[in-house]
A and B are shown apart, each in its own frame.
Chain A
Amino acid sequence: MNIPDDLQYTQTHEWIRQEDDEIVVGITDFAQAQLSDLTYVELPAIGDQVGVGDEIAVLESVKAASDIYAPVAGTITGVNELLQESPELLNADPYGEGWLFKLRPQNMADLDDLLEAEQYEETLPDS
């Protein structure tokens, strides 16, 4: 299971990468493997104001739909348009081309509450 050290995580399997005053958010390798075959992605709109834990995106696989939550409060500043046509990027490259959205946090200190790689790994079931 690939869990890069330089990212932060949530218990709901989102990853977060800090880029200046923005964060990039995606789903972890574990999450994409669990969901398998992503077929449709519903993303938030740029400019949306979101609260921590809000359901702001939906990922659909052949079998089911899963919600994606905002890891911190803030404003959506970008979405990965490539996923509309190619949701399979989420499976192929979850930490790269399969990123979901960018968000400008209301308060950068909120990022301190996120999990580090090692802590996230501990939340996963033993394989």
Chain B
Amino acid sequence: MNVKSNLKTPLHAEHLARHARMAPFAGWDMPIQYTSIVTEHQQTRQQATVFDISHMGEFDISGPTAEQDLDRLLTQRIATLANGQCRYGYLLNEAGGVIDDLTCYRRADDRFYLVVNAANRAAAADWIKAHCQSRTIFADVSDQTAKIDIQGPAARALMEEALGCALPDLNYFRATDWTYDGVSSWLSRTGYTGEWGYEWYLPTEAAVTCWQRLLAPGALQPAGLGARDTLRLEMGYPLHGHELQPDRSPVAVAGSAFMHLDKPFIGRDQVQRVLDQGPDQQLLGLRLESRRAARAGDTVWREGTQIGTVTSGSYAPSVGVAIALAYIDTAHAQPNSACTIEVRGQHLPATLTKPPFYKEGTARAT
């Protein structure tokens, strides 16, 4: 018998103690919800919540040639990254498809920190190692790293109150080394919810204590991957495996955004070709008229012709109706035009929309 058990984050027992509903995600046994997805979603938008995101992968890449190697591997500009700054971009294959989407931080002149999707950790590690020079040192530090996201407009105040100390001032997409109660951590003003907040990277052995302290006063409640997904969908953020794929060009998702075309990088020529010719399809939002949701794989129609396919869809608690992301044939990809989505044999009316669906996100607030 060959039973493959799911991996557990350092906070797994905390989730079970709270009777979270657990489900497999990218090979991990993860909390989907603690109370309800809608409640946790609203708490994040209105106040703040805490997520266990320890399943994601972290790579520490250093050495005299690290900057040069990463600039050639990643679509975002690495040479001009300041210490403590991060940029989001893609790791492309030779065909210009997306192996993973990731953020890259500079932690020192010759040291970088990459945060990758759990499902792509092995593929990204293999690809990066295969394309680094011998003096670049690659370390997959995922197993030693816990990641706790504190997201929501009140994240800073509630986190400071719960931990009993002041947090460093950080602008959006900036991070810093931060010693909390003797624990060396990496605190980043980023997230995947559209709200103001932090992604907090800390040693696995400190995770339980920090998690418990954050939640002890009761003002911060935990939120699961269910709410994380509805929050990101309302912002139109792509999710690898749904919107981003190894056999799809990122040009179809966001045009030339997150790519610095004035430098050589793997997949650059393929990206340029798609930009020059125009992509066959483009990722767009769909706003439905009721709460009835379309799901990944449902087809999009206009006047008897299929014009696209849904990649993600759900009821959107902060929008009040169901929304979706879909690849739409470029000839039909005009925002504010009407279409239908076939859901279990019925055609539901929808409007093509340029995301974000939710426009009051506080992520960039100062």
Residues of A within 8 A of B (CB): 36-37, 39-40, 42, 58, 60, 62-63, 65, 87, 91
Residues of B in contact (CB 8 Å), total: 19
Whether B135 is near chain A, meaning CB under 8 Å from some CB there, is no
- Residue-wise, chain B 284-313 has the 8 Å CB interface mask toward A (1 for contact) of 000000111101000000000000000000
Q: Let me know if B291 and A39 touch, CB within 8 A.
A: yes
Q: Which chain B residues numbered 105 to 147 have a C-beta less than 8 Å away from chain A?
A: none
CA distance A87 to B295 in the complex (A): 19
By a CB distance below 8 angstroms, the chain A residues around B179 are: none
Whether B84 is near chain A, meaning CB under 8 Å from some CB there, is no
- Contacts A60-B292, A60-B293, A62-B38 given: A36-B21 contact, CB under 8 Å? yes
By a CB distance below 8 angstroms, the chain A residues around B295 are: 65
CA distance A36 to B230 in the complex (A): 15
- Residue-wise, chain B 39-67 has the 8 Å CB interface mask toward A (1 for contact) of 10000000000000000000000000000
Known: A40-B291, A60-B293, A62-B38. 7 other contacts (CB 8 A): A36-B36, A39-B291, A40-B315, A60-B291, A60-B292, A63-B37, A63-B226
- Contacts A58-B344, A60-B315, A62-B226 given: A37-B37 contact, CB under 8 Å? yes
CA distance A91 to B314 in the complex (A): 18
Q: Let me know if A62 and B344 touch, CB within 8 A.
A: no
Whether B148 is near chain A, meaning CB under 8 Å from some CB there, is no
CA distance A87 to B321 in the complex (A): 13
Instruction: Name the 9 nearest CB pairs between A and B, nearest first.
Output: A39-B315, A40-B291, A40-B292, A62-B37, A37-B38, A37-B36, A39-B291, A37-B37, A36-B36
By a CB distance below 8 angstroms, the chain B residues around A63 are: 32, 37, 226, 314
By a CB distance below 8 angstroms, the chain A residues around B314 are: 62-63
CA distance A58 to B293 in the complex (A): 12
- A18 CB, min distance to chain B CBs, angstroms: 31
